[in-house]
Structure 1
Amino acid sequence: MRTRLRQLVVSAVALLTASAALPAATAADGDRGDGHHPSHGGLSAVIRYTEYGIPHIVADDYADLGFGTGWAQAADQVCVLADGFVTVRGERSRYFGPDTAPDFSLSSATKNLTSDLYFRGVRDTRSVQRLLERPAPVGPSRQVKELMRGWAAGYNAWLRKNRITDPACEGAAWVRPVTTLDVFSRAYALAVLGGEGRFVDAIATAQPPAPGAAPKAAAPDAKAAARAASELFSTGDADMGSNAVAFRGDTTANGRGLLLGNPHYPWAGGRRFWQAQQTIPGELNVSGGSLLGSPITQIGFNAKVAWSHTVATGTPMNLHQLTLDPGDPTTYLVDSKAERMTKRSVTVAVKDGEPVTRTQWWTRYGPVVTSLGSDLSLPWTAGTAYALADPNTGNLRFADTSLGFAKARGTADVLKALGRHQGLPWVNTVAADSAGHTLFTQSQVLPRITDELAARCSTPLGRATYPAAGVAVLDGARGDCAPGSDPDALQPGVFGPAKMPTLKDAPYAENSNDSAWLANADRPLTGYERVFGNVGTQRSMRTRGAVEDVAAMADKGGLTVRDLQKQQFANRVPAADLAAEDAARACAALPGGTATGSDGTVVDVSEACRVLAAWDRTVDTSSRGALLYDRFWRKLTRAVPNAQLWKVPFSAADPVRTPNTLNTAAPGFATALADTVTELRAAGIALDAKLGDHQFVVRADRRIPVHGGTESLGVWNKIEAPWNAAAGGYAEVSSGSSHIQAVGWDGGRCPVARTLLTYSQSSNPNSPHHLDQTRLFSAEKWVTSRFCEKDIRSSPKLKVVRVSQ
């Protein structure tokens, strides 16, 4: 292989118009936390950069590939990466103080102290090391371990040989070399993000009641619990979502498959994607997006298959209600036998203060928690406590699953990789291949909560939360109420591959973060357990709009990659197609052209009526009326319950087109209109202002207009941004469209792919690749992927960097 690698490099260099080579690098020493020196092995790689700073990493083996990937990621994202490693080491309080908040990239902790108490506890108990000791496929494979080892060495080598220019961490003491254990710990944090990661505060602060406390407290209100659970596990309003669609060969122009992936992820912090191509000649060749700190592509394509992920509706955790020993609230009963909780004392270093030691309490099921999100208290009394069970604490298989995708030759291989490694913690998979096949599957690690088990073992609280949100609360005092095991499952207590909702070879397979039910509206998926998601319930506005769009595309046929590009930036507003005309007409009919606001003020809304009527019902940057409708729709849907919002209610027999027909007589309609006009005028924003003038990001002191729209509008090209009237509107995007890819094949050896990393490759404001793709996104332009050798060599921006220890 080394001969093939040299041939690739020599061919590239011979065609260079300009070449930059760095001196050989030496990795810095790191902790030997996993038994490996991070720079062991004399690792090396070749990184060939093309337009927009996209690296094409060529290496001899997996350790070398990890080395080149770690180096290249550090060059673009060293401060963000270093911040994440501070998190998983449990050292945020030491460097940043205990009371400030992390950026939620690796958990939902609201303070550095609780984040540290959790992650320090993970480190102290060797949770990750124990998973590394398990043989593959239950534990990580040798190839993944080599990738992780190489990544750590590459990151360290970059630190040793380069001066940091990013002001976010220039000269910072917390930027330190890493170990392989650190890299795996970051992967672990991502795996538990949907379970324990949501409840870090509750795990870190749960304490038994004081001696003499009452044996009982008021039970949580069932309706409030159901509502809190539904809100907590709703994918639509979270900072992560996604759309993806695969088209079968008989819907396309050339009989080959097509895939459009549009993940919705944060635009800042450690849960960003980073774009690269990774090649081991004769072994691996894949291009796409990796989550920062990962050595392998999570969403991408190769010469034969393309795939994307969407955040799934499966509930990756459950609760067990414990019956406590009357004489000891840290002892619980299982089948009338007493079991003592495990007491974990965790100590965290604190900046400018004494170390803090706190106690955590763990059971056979998992940690004791005292809340389900911020809206539902789960009191630990002398008689009752609640333990959280998260099967992804036994899952370090995400990287192996992704590596299986990278090597796949078709959708059948994607499904085989999912069955072999069973490592996706909280996402669905949508895929298409060059032979014209499609795939949707909700293959994720979920607790084996069957509807039968929930009916037999749910506590009164669970009888409310399970139907509403798939959150089971089981009777922890009964051994027969523990989740069972499937014979084809790699780990106990989870569903096996045979139980996963799967749709193969449909004309289209699409998901927009609703359940698997309508992956194809003509071939609905049913029969799965409630913990996977619901069936026969109202879909989100984004799902309804997406299914309408892709079904029409499939019916039209003759599709190409260009059609995928048009769909991504069509910026149609389904909520406007359903309601804008009715809203404009009702507005125009208001007596005297006025409406009364929530503060009792009478407001002239006649201009708003004309703007709504003239609006093109898109959220392009040039759209006039989009901002007005957006602000109005948010106020209206918050004020008016869904049951009163529409004249035609939801029907499971027509789930895409119902509910419909806006109820303009609903209390709150005229008020929302008046409040919107008042709000925009108070901010000095014209009612017919262009969207891009008031939805933008600022990079290098320049405003870059941003198109797209919020969840409730149902826009495919989802963009979420906090409203800041003083700053001119939506002045910074928080999450939304991220690593976009439109992929097909034309019969040759090279895939036909267009990509876009909306927030650009580097978070360093001094990098030339800090905003270049963001400008492309603003202009609705794409990057033509350079996958094959001839395309890489012909890049006018080609630069070769040889890196080694």
Structure 2
Amino acid sequence: MRKIRVWAAGIALGCLSFPPSNSGMAAESASDHVTVAWMPHGIPHITAKDFRGLGFGTGYAYARYNACLLLDTVITVNGERSRYFGADGEATPGFQTVSNLDSDMFFRGYFDPNALESDYRKHHAQAWQLISGYAAGVNSFLGSANAADQMASCKGKPWVHPVTPRDIMMVIAQKSVLTSGSAFAGAFASASPPDAPPRASDRSAAPEPADKHVGSVGSNAYAFGSDVTQAHTGILVGNPHFPWNGPNRFFELRQTIPGQIDVRGAALGGFPLVNIGYNNDVAWSHTVSTGQRFTIFRLALVPGHPDQYLVDGKAETMDRRSVTVPVLTSAGAVVPQTRTVFWTRFGAVVVAKGRGLQWDDKQAFALGDSERNNTRLIDQWLRIGTATSSSDLLAGLKEVHGLPWVNTVAADRSGTILMADESIVPAVTVSPENHCILRGAAGGGPLVMDGSHSACDWTTAPPLSTDLMPAVLRKDYVFNSNDPAWAFNKNGRMANVPPIVGMMGKPLRPRSRMSILAVEDRLKADHHSALTPDDAASVVLDDRNYAATLVQPALAALCHGAEQRTIDQDGACDALKKWDSRDTPQSEGAVLFREFWQKARNIPDLWSVAFTPNDLADTPGTLAVSNPSVRQALLDALGAATQKLQSLHFPLSVPLAAVQYRETPRGKVAVPGGREFEGTLNIAGFGALGVDGYGHADIVGTSYLQVVSWEKGLPEARAILTYGQSGETNLPEYDDQTELYARSQLLRQPFDQPAISTEHLQVPSY
């Protein structure tokens, strides 16, 4: 097992720099001030008297390190990428890449900002105060004397300008549809009737846009209760896997309004509250849920009228909406480009021929999105941040019901733990008896529903009741690694989980199986009742490769007994004998195994032991090496992996550090971890292997890793933000935590961590 070291924060800080204090404002009363106490590694503690002030300090602090990133995101959500970067450049409205023009059409045509703002102002006053304060805080930083030095990547760019509350509102709206509407950005933007002339940028017939982060975006979360911990309190491990670049980077902070909220953790960029973190009484994390946030509606068209569809036998006409986007031409002029997008009672019309969603003279398809108008996100995380226990946190999830697409795992100071999926899903009963469902009832993809009957329209009804959502409170342990919530530990099962939340009784993904194995091994080593925070951290950070635990014994026997092996196969067998079955920077053989397993895992009839729900961790399993075709396919995969490494001039025992790293101004920093298909808990999602190693332009994986416990009655975290607080390469906070992460070093972060610099900010009047 790798030794996991915890550094005391506050050392080796000579390279850190902070903006000057604005304390000379005696003309204003103290109540008009927000204090930002800067802790090591650029982590701010914002203290304010009200929510607008808290938003102000949070926006200021985030912009201090990420103003260019935020302003770039604002350009995206306002549909202005084509104005500044041209129509053909790439944009990432969610996790998929589309053209700038399609992204702009999506954001300008899919959302209704007027309706969103009206709802915030009327029904979510504290949330709007946070949003408006956040915008003011960002602008305060943009106007500060040292802003230009902190914004090297966008200095002098024409799109650098103050933001509005509506800008921040739209950044939050983008986050609400990351696993629903944004996945159809191109399908929405390119949808046109079959009789319309083809668009120059129509990509509906092309292959689906590449999801750069497929198999990487997700999370692990573990909660250990009083029955298994040494101190008989709760321990929470949060291990979200998210992009290291772009608008969904996390940012560490602490937020305090005395007497109202006091929370520490990390927030997604542009979000005004902690998303994953802890307060004095409870700690929590989130994992991406398997619940379906949307359905597709098949529309039966009126013959001869491709913009009319039948509902209960009556024709309804699609709503045509013109969307205009300013586009920068190659000549440097900005010209308007207009498209018509189409809406139905169910939602937006989408065309994606690669997904079987084609608009012809008989049918069309509309997207019903449960997250498009979700304005409860901030209220929900405000309620989470003020929870007093795991059970109170669960009550808050049910009261607000505003989580968009995540599960919740929590632990409290008394040792009660929680696993719950209380996210928003449509109120759709998935079963063969539901005749509204045309496709997908067996868990084979998104639900396609019959749009010819009004009884099938769930879009105007409330979401699935929280009483039907899966949740459990316990004292031993729970976990989630992005499989359905029905299985929450080795033997724990939830009954009657609605299929739209997650299909029960299916094999778990390798990472979930590794979670069970790692936790059970750790508990056995600690005799089930002496788990410490360092033990809990080791569950994630020992970098064991689950596929290796299943494959290596049979693979060794195959290598030993195979006749007529090729030289390539012999070389692979010899190299894999030396591998430690982990994905650490020092591991020799990890690269070879990864390239082998990427091919071998898809061999037909690979396993000789079938899946059984009573053995989640080990089934399916045991390589079917007695099957001649499987045996030969495995040897072929070994030979192919060998040839690939040789063609790239890598030795078969190349250390993982030589090919899996982050490029930083200070050089290459090795990144530990493996891939989803390997079952490594510490995910490191990179591009394909090339002559320079694994593509590192878009890293996805372990991001904000926190281990929270209670010591002497106070919460304390061991945490790391793997990529650092800043997106600016000229700032030390860009990569100061990456080098620690490469060595599995977590920072000790007491709740009341001393500050090393303090600013007093003046909040503008209302």
TM-score for both structures, normalised by structure 1: 0.86
Deviation at 1:590, TM superposition (A): 3.2
Larger proportion of strand = 2
**Corresponding residue for residue 21 of structure 2:** 22
Structure 2 contact 417–474 (Cα < 8 Å) conserved: yes
Deviation at 1:730, TM superposition (A): 5.0
Aligned-residue sequence identity (percent) comes to 34
2:671 matched to 1:683?
no
Larger proportion of helix = 1
Residues 547-562 of structure 1 mapped to structure 2, 5 A cutoff = 547-554=516-523, 556-562=528-534
Structure 2 contact 485–494 (Cα < 8 Å) conserved: yes
Deviation at 1:127, TM superposition (A): 4.1
What amino acid is the match of 2:156? G
Aligned length: 724
Counterpart of 1:87 (choices 70, 76, 80) is 76
**Corresponding residue for residue 336 of structure 1:** 313
**Corresponding residue for residue 148 of structure 2:** 164
**Corresponding residue for residue 13 of structure 1:** none
Deviation at 1:614, TM superposition (A): 2.2
Counterpart of 2:105 (choices 117, 120, 126) is 117
Quickly say closer, same or farther: Cα 1:453–1:359, change in 2 above 3 A: farther
SS at match of 1:543: helix
Counterpart of 1:655 (choices 616, 620, 632) is 616
**Corresponding residue for residue 138 of structure 1:** none
**Corresponding residue for residue 425 of structure 1:** 404
What amino acid is the match of 1:582? A
User: 2-side partners of 1:653 and 1:173: how far apart?
Assistant: 60
What amino acid is the match of 2:344? T
What amino acid is the match of 2:107? F
What amino acid is the match of 1:266? P
Residues 543-582 of structure 1 mapped to structure 2, 5 A cutoff = 543-554=512-523, 556-582=528-554
Computed over aligned residues only, the root mean square deviation of the Cα atoms, in angstroms, reads 2.6
**Corresponding residue for residue 446 of structure 1:** 425
Counterpart of 1:529 (choices 498, 519, 537) is 498
2:569 matched to 1:615?
no
Structure 1 contact 122–128 (Cα < 8 Å) conserved: no
SS at match of 1:251: coil
User: 2-side partners of 1:241 and 1:407: how far apart?
Assistant: 25
Counterpart of 2:182 (choices 179, 183, 197) is 197
Quickly say closer, same or farther: Cα 1:155–1:668, change in 2 above 3 A: same
Deviation at 1:24, TM superposition (A): 7.2
TM-score for both structures, normalised by structure 2: 0.90
Quickly say closer, same or farther: Cα 1:119–1:348, change in 2 above 3 A: same
SS at match of 1:753: strand
Counterpart of 2:450 (choices 475, 497, 506) is 475
**Corresponding residue for residue 658 of structure 2:** 693
What amino acid is the match of 1:283? Q
Quickly say closer, same or farther: Cα 1:212–1:179, change in 2 above 3 A: closer
Residues 170-319 of structure 1 mapped to structure 2, 5 A cutoff = 170-210=155-195, 237-319=214-296
Counterpart of 2:126 (choices 138, 143, 146) is 143
SS at match of 2:504: coil
User: 2-side partners of 1:534 and 1:22: how far apart?
Assistant: 54
Deviation at 1:398, TM superposition (A): 1.3
1:722-741 CA-partner distances (Å, limit 9, x unpaired): 12422134545620000000
What amino acid is the match of 1:272? R
User: 2-side partners of 1:585 and 1:658: how far apart?
Assistant: 20
2:608 matched to 1:624?
no
User: 1-side partners of 2:52 and 2:39: how far apart?
Assistant: 23
What amino acid is the match of 2:754? I
User: 1-side partners of 2:172 and 2:744: how far apart?
Assistant: 33
Quickly say closer, same or farther: Cα 1:155–1:18, change in 2 above 3 A: closer
Deviation at 1:623, TM superposition (A): 1.2
Quickly say closer, same or farther: Cα 1:83–1:209, change in 2 above 3 A: same
User: 2-side partners of 1:631 and 1:181: how far apart?
Assistant: 46
What amino acid is the match of 2:57? G
Deviation at 1:20, TM superposition (A): 6.2
Counterpart of 1:435 (choices 399, 403, 414) is 414
1:222-262 CA-partner distances (Å, limit 9, x unpaired): xxxxxx99x999x9944410000101111111111111000
Quickly say closer, same or farther: Cα 1:198–1:518, change in 2 above 3 A: same
Between 1:356-365 and 1:336-345, the stretch displaced more is: 336-345
Quickly say closer, same or farther: Cα 1:631–1:18, change in 2 above 3 A: closer
What amino acid is the match of 1:120? R
User: 2-side partners of 1:298 and 1:581: how far apart?
Assistant: 42
Between 1:726-735 and 1:340-349, the stretch displaced more is: 726-735
2:50 matched to 1:61?
yes
**Corresponding residue for residue 202 of structure 2:** none
What amino acid is the match of 2:147? R
User: 2-side partners of 1:563 and 1:742: how far apart?
Assistant: 10
**Corresponding residue for residue 379 of structure 1:** 358
Quickly say closer, same or farther: Cα 1:85–1:454, change in 2 above 3 A: farther
Deviation at 1:383, TM superposition (A): 2.1
Structure 1 contact 508–554 (Cα < 8 Å) conserved: no
Deviation at 1:701, TM superposition (A): 4.7
SS at match of 2:291: coil
**Corresponding residue for residue 766 of structure 1:** 730
1:342-379 CA-partner distances (Å, limit 9, x unpaired): 111000000125211000000110001112xx732311
1:108-152 CA-partner distances (Å, limit 9, x unpaired): 3511101111111246663423432552xxxxx221111111100
User: 2-side partners of 1:539 and 1:453: how far apart?
Assistant: 23
2:132 matched to 1:153?
no
2:595 matched to 1:634?
no
**Corresponding residue for residue 778 of structure 1:** 742
SS at match of 1:668: helix
SS at match of 2:153: coil
**Corresponding residue for residue 466 of structure 1:** 441
Deviation at 1:533, TM superposition (A): 1.0
**Corresponding residue for residue 471 of structure 2:** 502
**Corresponding residue for residue 792 of structure 1:** 754
Residues 581-600 of structure 1 mapped to structure 2, 5 A cutoff = 581-594=553-566
1:149-194 CA-partner distances (Å, limit 9, x unpaired): 1100000111111433344211111122111111111111111121
Structure 2 contact 237–708 (Cα < 8 Å) conserved: yes
**Corresponding residue for residue 8 of structure 1:** none
Structure 1 contact 696–733 (Cα < 8 Å) conserved: no
Structure 1 unmatched ranges of 5 or more: 1-16, 27-40, 136-140, 214-219, 221-227, 485-490, 595-602
Deviation at 1:743, TM superposition (A): 0.5
Structure 1 contact 52–769 (Cα < 8 Å) conserved: yes
2:342 matched to 1:361?
yes
User: 1-side partners of 2:319 and 2:711: how far apart?
Assistant: 59
1:676-725 CA-partner distances (Å, limit 9, x unpaired): 11111121211112111221111005011111101111011111111242
SS at match of 1:529: coil
SS at match of 1:419: helix
Quickly say closer, same or farther: Cα 1:19–1:724, change in 2 above 3 A: closer
Quickly say closer, same or farther: Cα 1:290–1:454, change in 2 above 3 A: farther
Counterpart of 1:702 (choices 662, 667, 672) is 667
What amino acid is the match of 1:89? N
Deviation at 1:413, TM superposition (A): 1.6
SS at match of 1:591: coil
**Corresponding residue for residue 6 of structure 1:** none
SS at match of 2:496: coil
User: 2-side partners of 1:117 and 1:511: how far apart?
Assistant: 36
Counterpart of 1:45 (choices 17, 27, 34) is 34
Quickly say closer, same or farther: Cα 1:694–1:236, change in 2 above 3 A: closer
Structure 2 unmatched ranges of 5 or more: 1-15, 199-204
Deviation at 1:49, TM superposition (A): 1.2
SS at match of 1:653: coil
User: 2-side partners of 1:236 and 1:181: how far apart?
Assistant: 29
Quickly say closer, same or farther: Cα 1:176–1:42, change in 2 above 3 A: farther
2:704 matched to 1:739?
yes
